[in-house]
Amino acid sequence: MSVRDEQQAKLLYDYAAALRDDPDQPATAALAPELVATVHRAAAALHVPPLSADFVARLQQRLEGEIGVTNPPADQPAPLVQPRRSVPSRVSGWLTAAGLIVLLVAGGLWFATSVPQRGVVKPQAQVAPATPTAQPTLPPLPEPQTAAEVITRANALTMSGRLRSFHLQRSVVQYEPVAGSPYVVAGSKVQNADQREVWYEYPQRWRVETRDLREDGGQWQRGPVRSVQVSDGRREWGYEAYLNSVGVKPLVFGTLADEQLPNGNKWQYLNGRGYEQTARSLEAYLGWGAYITNDGTSFYGTPLLCYNAMLVGKDVVAGRATYVISLRWLDSGYCTTQRNGAVSERKLWLDAETYLLLKDESYDAAGKLLRRLAVSSVEYNLPLAASLFDYDLPLGSLLLDFRSSSSGKVEQLRPVTVINKFRFAVYLPTTMPDELQPAPLAFGSNAQRQGERIQIGYMSEAGWTDIGNQMRGSMQAQPPPLPPSIYVKLEAVPDGGFDAVANGAEPLDIPGLKAWFKPDPTNSPRTTLLAVWPVLTVEREGVLISISSRDYDQAELVKVARSLERVAEPVPAELLLTPTVTVLPLPSEVPTAEPAAPNGK
Amino acid sequence: MLAWLSVLSEEASKVEPDDGELLRLAQADRQAFTLLYQRYVAPVYNYCYLRLGSREAAEDAASETFLRALAGLPDFQGGTVAAWLFRIAHNIIVDLYRKRRPQQPLTEADDLPDPAPSAEHTLLERDELARVQAAINRLPDDQRSVLELQFAGWSGKQIAAVLGRSHGAVRMLHLRAVERLRQLLLDEDEPQ
């Protein structure tokens, strides 16, 4: 085995692994082209359709049913997991005393906080009665000796079946700007502040109501509900008050590491865990781990490798006993290049029983507080009203349906009639061959560059269920006799304009249109991998519109191009943080309950 | 909670959370098994799909895998979670092949027709994808497995555990698999 073989093996292996997530990624020149080509063919042949979220949920329910045969029912929490090795509990007395305090304080807090919240969207949502006596005291674990032990338990225990439910209120106040923060308010000391009330029920039901916090004369004032996120275990609803729009998307299991946002920011979230369903998972809502920066790194992401974690003590937060962990930045070597912003130290307070994060503070090198996340009240394993996790559409709100074909249900797919919130003006064809219908939007391969590119497949109804394959970037592998199709892709004109030569296209004379056409130079049958998709490219007001098909000739594509109509205006970058896509009419399964009156009145 | 927390710790070199810790927790409290399930459901399903060729069969096999794993949880000793789940899934798939054609030698199992082929499967058999798949099936078992597991979403560490090799050996096996696959496809492309 030569060194060169080893190098090729590593390069090829890494490339193939990455290819699975991004079929469009270029290969390094150091890799033999014939190997790259073979890996691409293997990747296409070994493509697996997306895992059905319904199946995942059904199987999990079945497993939980099996587990329930031997474990206590949910309303009688089992003892916390005991490690195999026997370690004397040094904190049991401390925790017992703390537990008594917790019961007293939490009971009081419950009465103080369980007054029905008059939310904009669902004012009837309340914690179920009988809560004050429902909060149990969980037997403590042996005292951890290191930060690593605390963190391992936090990873393992929180949001596992041990924690059946919780209800908390937490606030985040950003006192000083952090590099890359989008929350910059000129002239204001407080850069960003919000408060969230969270109800969670294992495994995948939650409700998060977010309000702005404003400092007024030294007093914090809560604003009206700004947004609401509700997961019913299958879908997640997101309400944005300022847009009066509701987004719905499936809960998809996955481990995506980050999501590129259209303004160059990146929403990095919690990778490597099975239950992170979306970029805006419950943990992201809570403010744990998700943070937006515009320098390509995450506040909580890779740089965390450069923190030294130490268990530094104990404290009480929101009436709960906590372990305190200090994270100090290691300013050397690799870490120096990864430093993001002024943060030199962070402190975490983790609940000593449940290991939920209750407080998180960031400091600069001089010890000045930059940001604080704090839970003001929390209750565990309490019964929650089922209505909390249902969702009623507010009156007059716009439904944004982000459910992709990966849900695998044809009946969920609806024609696209409106697209908005892209950085460029959106043009859509008004003419298509009679047999074609619009399929759901795809965002181009797996790149998830929301707001940057639209790709719509127009095909007959029989082909809709294969959109997932198309999204995976293996369109060239589309086998016959799938129905004829036309794809329309929109993206901003790149800097320097459309490079016709590089794209193998030649100017095409269409009156009133700036257009290029790329034929299929191979003249291959459409069923082969060698076939090149003929593409008609049109440029209009900063947007490139590519119309491609292997089934229709140039004249037909020109007809489609001539029918393009402007259907949505460009949206300023600052409003592009929420994804795109509007799908109308409403899918049949969208609840149409009586709408809530504004402000719950 | 807090996947990122695992990266913060003294154990920061572990990019992935510790399977072994989760396994111990699950053995102490079966509810923690759902964490293992959530971590492995996609890789297991994907592998089953690649071996069985249909969504329904893959879902059935993946379900059976996790139900068997849950049942066998108290008795599992030693080894890695990835290899354990893979063995269960593999045995289930082998059982399915046996049921489909009891007399068929397992070495030919890959060529068995699906009793209820989906439209998509039928289509694939007719074109390029089917040719590549057939070539992959002609690879030696360990070479084929490393390709399938990788595209099924198993990590390098998990594949190494499943195959009982080092990570470096897995990469070399992968290279050999691609080289062999290329040769097989070249042979097939040549005029008869």
Contact A305 B7 (CB under 8 A): yes
State the CATH number of the domain containing residue B23.
Answer: 1.10.1740.10
Residues B87 and B169 in one domain: no
Residue B12 lies in a domain: no
What digits encode the pLDDT tens for the residues A520-533?
Answer: 766 655 544 445 67
Residues B106 and B145 in one domain: no
Residue B161 lies in a domain: yes
| Residue A493 neighbours by CB under 8 Å, 6+ apart | A539, A542, A543, A544
Look at residue A125 and tell me whether its pLDDT is greater than 50.
no
Instruction: State the pLDDT at residue A241.
Output: 78
Short-list A565, A579, A557, CA closest to A426? A565
Residues B56 and B81 in one domain: yes
* Range of A84-93, A139-148, A249-258, A443-452 with top mean pLDDT: A139-148
The label of the residue with tokens 């198309």 reads A470
Domain of B77 in residue numbering reads as 17-113
CATH 2.50.20.10 domain residues, chain A: 70-389
Residues B99 and B159 in one domain: no
Residue B3 lies in a domain: no
Residue B6 lies in a domain: no
pLDDT tier for residue A340 given thresholds of 50, 70 and 90: low
Mean pLDDT of A147-171: 74
Instruction: State the pLDDT at residue A515.
Output: 96
Look at residue A548 and tell me whether its pLDDT is greater than 80.
yes
Short-list B51, B183, B21, CA closest to A144? B21
Compute CA distances A461 → A42, A430, A436, A589, whole Å: 29, 18, 8, 20
Residues B137 and B188 in one domain: yes
Residues B104 and B175 in one domain: no
Cα–Cα dist B136/B185, whole Å: 9
ipTM score:
0.78
In the predicted model, residues of chain B with pLDDT beneath 50 are 1-17, 101-126, 191-192
CATH architecture, domain A415-583:
2-Layer Sandwich (3.30)
Q: Which of B45, B78, B113 is where one domain is finished?
A: B113
Q: Which of B89, B113, B137 is where one domain is finished?
A: B113
Residue B82 lies in a domain: yes
CATH 3.30.200.100 domain residues, chain A: 415-583
Residues B149 and B74 in one domain: no
Look at residue A549 and tell me whether its pLDDT is greater than 60.
yes
Contact A51 B120 (CB under 8 A): no
Residues B149 and B88 in one domain: no
Contact A38 B182 (CB under 8 A): yes
Residues B86 and B145 in one domain: no
Instruction: State the pLDDT at residue A540.
Output: 92
Residue B120 lies in a domain: no
Cα–Cα dist A486/A459, whole Å: 7
Weakest mean pLDDT among A189-198, A216-225, A336-345? A336-345
Q: pTM for the full model?
A: 0.41
**Between A265 and A192, whose confidence is greater?**
A192
Look at residue A290 and tell me whether its pLDDT is greater than 50.
no
Contacts A67 to B, Cβ<8 Å: 30-31, 33-34, 70
Residues B139 and B74 in one domain: no
Q: How high is the mean pLDDT of chain A?
A: 63
- Read off the tokens for A51: 């895992």
Instruction: State the pLDDT at residue A558.
Output: 94
**Between A360 and A152, whose confidence is greater?**
A360
Question: How many CB pairs below 8 Å do chains A and B form together?
Answer: 263
Residues B21 and B87 in one domain: yes
Task: Give the gyration radius of chain A's Cα atoms.
Answer: 27
Give the gap in angstroms from C-alpha B104 to the nearest C-alpha of chain A: 24
Instruction: Provide the number of structural domains found in chain B.
Output: 2
Q: Which of B78, B113, B148 is where one domain is finished?
A: B113
Q: Which fold has domain A70-389?
A: outer membrane lipoprotein receptor (LolB), chain A (2.50.20)
User: Chain A residue with minimal CA distance to B14?
Assistant: A305
Residues B90 and B157 in one domain: no
